[in-house]
Chains A and B, each alone.
Chain A
Amino acid sequence: MKNLNKHYFNPFFSHIYVETAVLGHPFTRRILAKFPAAEIIEIRHYKDVFCRSHQSSALQHRSQKLILAAKQGTLVYEGAPVCQSFGNRYFYYTSCAMNCIFDCAYCYLKGMYPSANIVIFVNLEDIFAEVAQILRMHPLYLCVSYDTDLPALESIAGYVREWCAFAGKHADLKLEIRTKCADPALFARETPSPNVIYAFTLSPQAVIDAFEHHTPSLAKRLSCAAALLQAGCAVRLCFDPMIYVKGWERHYETMLAQVYDRIDMDKIVDVSVGTFRISQDYLKNMRRQETKSAVVWFPFQCERGYCHYPDALMEEMEAFLTGRLAGRIPEEKIFRWDMETTEHGKA
């Protein structure tokens, strides 16, 4: 029997909801085997649980549940023209999971999804089939850690390994795996693949402490990135979103010193820089959920449906970082996100 004690909340993944249709899927069985104590609840469709009205993402983040489902309809999406494609012509993304085990206060997923519970789509084979079909027409630059942090789910889903194996068989496919994860065991096994880019989101430790709950420290992320570089993997550094905190110049300066200390910048594929920005609708939802989070209650400047730091502050912060980076990495490798691009509040 479980005990009710001072820790009021159930442990993470105490309950796993499984669509009837995927109960027998090998990935379902593999995932469920990792949670022998979980209550398994059979459901018809993941939206019955995920899309209920008036959910509290803040409370759900204290006891996240897992939902295993089959993804239907379109499985691979074309990136909007305004998305940063890092110079790639055929930019696509796919969501084989929704939501994240980390809990960044500024994460746009909180504004986009009605729930904080995590959905893992187990029919990865269908996504692979759709990607293969697109590859028959043209090469592909595909972001697979979209609307989630896929490496952070690796011990549960094992999808990074699946994607890397798939990319290994398709020379025309370039993958971006974006993460704040820093599990050395996860990356140690990766053999360098020229068509997989590991993109690490980096923030000053003060920002991590204040807003990036449950994420690895900056030092750990850097160690992980350094180890991958050393192993010959392609690594991108994302200083995006930059978050305003008091004394931000000092914090970002310190962060850069740590980066230069650990990372051989000559080996980096590229870097991205951008201050926090988000759609007004998502921000509204986030403020409803995160009543006590400084980062979403900043008095933003809002125009044309988007909210961002006041122009002067935004310019100052981005110019500061790009200026400091310019001495260490060729300018054409610095991708600065401008106001016209999509919202970016996640890793």
Chain B
Amino acid sequence: MIYIFTALYCEAHALIRRLQLVKNQKTTRLQEFYNEQSGIRLTITGVGEIAAAVAVSSICTAYPPAEDDLMLNIGTCAYTRSAGAPQTRVFEDGEGVFLCNQIFEQATGRSFYPDMLYRHPFREASIVTGRMPWNADAGGASDNDIGHAGAGVDGNGYGGKTSGDAKLFHVRNDMLYDMEAAGVYQAGVHFFGPHQMIFLKIVSDFGTADGVSPGQVERLMEMHGDALLTFIGQLLERMTDERQRDTSPEAELADKLCRDLHCSKTMEASLKQHLHYLALAGADVCLLIQNLYKEGIVPCRDKREGKLRLEELKQTLF
């Protein structure tokens, strides 16, 4: 399963359409979209770190992720332009998508590091998560009400003016700036390892978020939709490959053998440990178990006999 979190609907629209996600009509608090078949669950978190963290923990509590699941935070962000750089620096086609290799929380100065394991066609950058939208002209986080993806359009309660922002982290030029990534990471870390979390950001502005409309965000996401989809497709493919390698046909037979040996919990653990080892060492465990039945060694009458047979069996294994 891939869990996708975006702050706004307009950031998700292109993915919902391309991934053929359907809305979960049973939920009211968060907008959720899913496709059981392809194993995708997308949630709109709302703008800001806290909203993002709440959404991640709420979804992951409702649908606990497995060890090989992935979490993607996808959304728009600002690019902190160099002083004196032209106001409207435009990224070449396909260049506007960034994979984040380092996340800073502006308010605390803390840093977080998702693993950078997978090949990708995007550029990489550090991202700063702040409480307010990035306003280049004001030299940093602005106190206006507009979030990066043309927030003010989401109706999720974002927009309160904050004061006393610690700004422990000094935002440098040529970084990404958003309002969710650090929150997603900090909530995500309770459910995922750093190898399972991926942060993809699309540059929507250079510190002029109030000029970005939802329609523009939607078009921007549309423009990069194919690249995002290809990347998600490759992640899904890898997950399928790994899972196929993980299937163990002997598990059911081992359960039957445990029952027919009248195993206690301790005996069962010991037997399964031996069988697991043998399977990993390349032995045909299914054949081995079938032979025990053929030779009439199992089923046993009772636990006493089962214990004897188990010890005999263990002796012959090495």
B94-134 interface code vs A (CB 8 A; 1 in, 0 out): 10000001100000000101011111111010100000000
Q: Could you tell me if A299 and B274 are in contact, using CB atoms closer than 8 angstroms?
A: yes
Q: Could you tell me if B270 and A52 are in contact, using CB atoms closer than 8 angstroms?
A: no
Q: Give the residues in chain A near B126, CB-CB below 8 Å.
A: 41
Q: Could you tell me if A246 and B234 are in contact, using CB atoms closer than 8 angstroms?
A: no
Complex Cα–Cα for A4 and B246 (A): 23
Closest-CB distance, A212 to chain B (whole angstroms)? 16
B87 at the interface (CB under 8 A from A): no
B238 at the interface (CB under 8 A from A): yes
Complex Cα–Cα for A44 and B280 (A): 41
Interface residues of B in 225-259 (CB under 8 A from A): 230-231, 234, 237-238, 246
Q: Give the residues in chain A near B116, CB-CB below 8 Å.
A: 10, 14-15, 39, 63, 65
Complex Cα–Cα for A246 and B281 (A): 8
B192 at the interface (CB under 8 A from A): yes
Central interface residue in B101, B115, B246, by most chain A CB within 10 Å: B115
Interface residues of A in 217-245 (CB under 8 A from B): 244-245
B189 at the interface (CB under 8 A from A): yes
A43 at the interface (CB under 8 A from B): yes
Closest-CB distance, A19 to chain B (whole angstroms)? 12
**Given A244-B318, A297-B276, A55 and B115 contact (CB-CB distance below 8 Å):** yes
**Given A3-B121, A48-B113, A56 and B102 contact (CB-CB distance below 8 Å):** no
Q: Give the residues in chain A near B113, CB-CB below 8 Å.
A: 17, 41, 43, 48-49, 52
Complex Cα–Cα for A183 and B117 (A): 28
**Chain B, Cβ-Cβ closest to A17:** B113
The residue from A1, A8, A39, A313 contacting B118, defined by CB atoms under 8 A apart: A8
Q: Could you tell me if B280 and A293 are in contact, using CB atoms closer than 8 angstroms?
A: yes
A53 at the interface (CB under 8 A from B): yes
Complex Cα–Cα for A268 and B189 (A): 51
A62 at the interface (CB under 8 A from B): yes
Q: Give the residues in chain B near A56, CB-CB below 8 Å.
A: 115, 193, 195
B194 at the interface (CB under 8 A from A): yes
Complex Cα–Cα for A313 and B280 (A): 19
Q: Could you tell me if B94 and A4 are in contact, using CB atoms closer than 8 angstroms?
A: no
Complex Cα–Cα for A313 and B276 (A): 19
Q: Could you tell me if B280 and A48 are in contact, using CB atoms closer than 8 angstroms?
A: no
Q: Give the residues in chain B near A294, CB-CB below 8 Å.
A: 277, 280-282
Q: Give the residues in chain B near A44, CB-CB below 8 Å.
A: 111
Closest-CB distance, B230 to chain A (whole angstroms)? 7
Chain B binding site: helix, strand, loop or mixed by DSSP?
Answer: mixed
Q: Could you tell me if B195 and A60 are in contact, using CB atoms closer than 8 angstroms?
A: yes
Closest-CB distance, B271 to chain A (whole angstroms)? 10
Q: Could you tell me if A39 and B101 are in contact, using CB atoms closer than 8 angstroms?
A: yes
Interface residues of A in 5-60 (CB under 8 A from B): 5, 7-10, 14-15, 17, 39, 41, 43-44, 48-49, 52-56, 59-60
Q: Could you tell me if B189 and A2 are in contact, using CB atoms closer than 8 angstroms?
A: no
B82 at the interface (CB under 8 A from A): no
B273 at the interface (CB under 8 A from A): yes
Q: Could you tell me if A10 and B119 are in contact, using CB atoms closer than 8 angstroms?
A: yes
Q: Could you tell me if B117 and A55 are in contact, using CB atoms closer than 8 angstroms?
A: no
Q: Could you tell me if A292 and B117 are in contact, using CB atoms closer than 8 angstroms?
A: no
**Given A39-B101, A299-B273, A9 and B119 contact (CB-CB distance below 8 Å):** yes
Q: Could you tell me if A60 and B111 are in contact, using CB atoms closer than 8 angstroms?
A: no
Q: Could you tell me if B277 and A54 are in contact, using CB atoms closer than 8 angstroms?
A: no
Q: Give the residues in chain B near A60, CB-CB below 8 Å.
A: 115, 117, 195
Q: Could you tell me if B194 and A43 are in contact, using CB atoms closer than 8 angstroms?
A: no
Complex Cα–Cα for A237 and B124 (A): 46
**Chain A, Cβ-Cβ closest to B314:** A299
Complex Cα–Cα for A62 and B194 (A): 15
**Given A294-B280, A297-B280, A8 and B195 contact (CB-CB distance below 8 Å):** no
Closest-CB distance, A66 to chain B (whole angstroms)? 12
Interface residues of B in 257-310 (CB under 8 A from A): 270, 273-274, 276-277, 280-282
Complex Cα–Cα for A41 and B94 (A): 23
**Chain B, Cβ-Cβ closest to A244:** B318
Interface residues of B in 175-189 (CB under 8 A from A): 189
**Chain B, Cβ-Cβ closest to A57:** B195
**Chain A, Cβ-Cβ closest to B239:** A8
**Chain B, Cβ-Cβ closest to A45:** B111
**Given A15-B101, A41-B102, A298-B277, A53 and B189 contact (CB-CB distance below 8 Å):** yes
The residue from B189, B237, B273 contacting A54, defined by CB atoms under 8 A apart: B189
Complex Cα–Cα for A55 and B119 (A): 19
The residue from A39, A54, A245, A313 contacting B192, defined by CB atoms under 8 A apart: A54
Complex Cα–Cα for A136 and B276 (A): 54
Complex Cα–Cα for A63 and B193 (A): 16
Q: Give the residues in chain B near A65, CB-CB below 8 Å.
A: 116
Q: Give the residues in chain A near B122, CB-CB below 8 Å.
A: 1
Q: Could you tell me if B194 and A54 are in contact, using CB atoms closer than 8 angstroms?
A: yes
**Chain A, Cβ-Cβ closest to B230:** A4
Complex Cα–Cα for A43 and B103 (A): 11
Q: Give the residues in chain B near A59, CB-CB below 8 Å.
A: 115, 117, 195
With A4-B118, A4-B121 given, name 9 new contacts (CB 8 A): A1-B121, A9-B118, A15-B116, A17-B113, A53-B189, A60-B117, A65-B116, A293-B280, A313-B318
Q: List 18 A-B contacts (CB under 8 A).
A: A1-B121, A4-B231, A4-B234, A5-B119, A14-B116, A15-B101, A17-B113, A41-B101, A41-B102, A52-B113, A54-B192, A55-B193, A55-B195, A56-B193, A56-B195, A60-B195, A62-B117, A294-B280
Q: What are the 6 A-B residue pairs with the smallest beta carbon separation, nearest first?
A: A294-B280, A54-B193, A294-B281, A8-B238, A56-B195, A297-B277
